[in-house]
């Protein structure tokens, strides 16, 4: 399954899901590792040779919005795989804090890349 973000309008997130099965996929929305709901999934009028397409919609829960960075993750209920996410910045977010987080993530990614390369060269 592939979920492609289309837009966020009036507090409603919309995406287009491509699936190989004709069964309506069950999706979940999580925020801070807590289940906050199931998005609405409607069959789209357009289909491809690979299978049907589904319009996925969910209203951002207002009670979950607060100062800082809030990330909502849409996942496959069956496998738990993350298919898409929406990140909302609200209030006063200090640029230096975000830059520090990005720098930390880059350093961790570099560490993982080196370990993966080392593992592949040993195999």
CATH code of the domain in which 78 resides: 2.60.40
pLDDT in tens, the chain (123 residues): 899 999 999 999 999 999 888 888 899 999 998 999 999 999 887 655 767 899 999 999 999 998 888 899 999 999 999 999 998 888 766 666 777 788 788 889 988 998 999 899 987
Same domain assignment for residues 113 and 123? yes
**pLDDT at 40 (0 to 100):** 94
Same domain assignment for residues 65 and 86? yes
Quick one: tokens of 6?
Answer: 């289309």
Same domain assignment for residues 24 and 64? yes
Same domain assignment for residues 72 and 25? yes
Find the angle CA(51)-CA(52)-CA(54) to the nearest 5 degrees: 145
Same domain assignment for residues 84 and 103? no
**pLDDT at 93 (0 to 100):** 61
Residue 25 contacts residue 1 (beta carbons within 8 Å): yes
Q: For residue 26, give the nearest of 77, 73, 74, 75 by alpha carbon.
A: 77
Same domain assignment for residues 39 and 69? yes
**pTM, whole model, 2 decimals?**
0.71
Same domain assignment for residues 87 and 106? no
Same domain assignment for residues 119 and 79? no
Domain that holds residue 106: 93-123
Number of domains in the chain: 2
Same domain assignment for residues 59 and 75? yes
Rounded Cα distance between 81 and 77, Å, is 8
Same domain assignment for residues 87 and 97? no
Same domain assignment for residues 39 and 9? yes
């Amino acid at each position: 399954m592939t979920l492609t973000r289309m837009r966020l309008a009036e507090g409603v997130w919309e995406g287009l899901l491509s699936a190989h099965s004709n069964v309506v996929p069950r999706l979940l929305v999580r925020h801070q590792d807590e289940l906050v709901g199931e998005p609405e999934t409607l069959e789209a009028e357009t289909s491809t040779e690979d299978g049907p397409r589904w319009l996925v919609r969910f209203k951002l829960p207002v009670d979950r919005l607060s100062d800082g960075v809030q990330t909502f993750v849409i996942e496959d209920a069956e496998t738990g795989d993350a298919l898409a996410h929406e990140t909302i910045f609200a209030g006063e977010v200090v640029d230096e804090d975000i830059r520090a987080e990005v720098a930390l993530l880059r350093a961790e990614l570099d560490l993982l890349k080196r370990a993966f390369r080392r593992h592949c060269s040993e195999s």
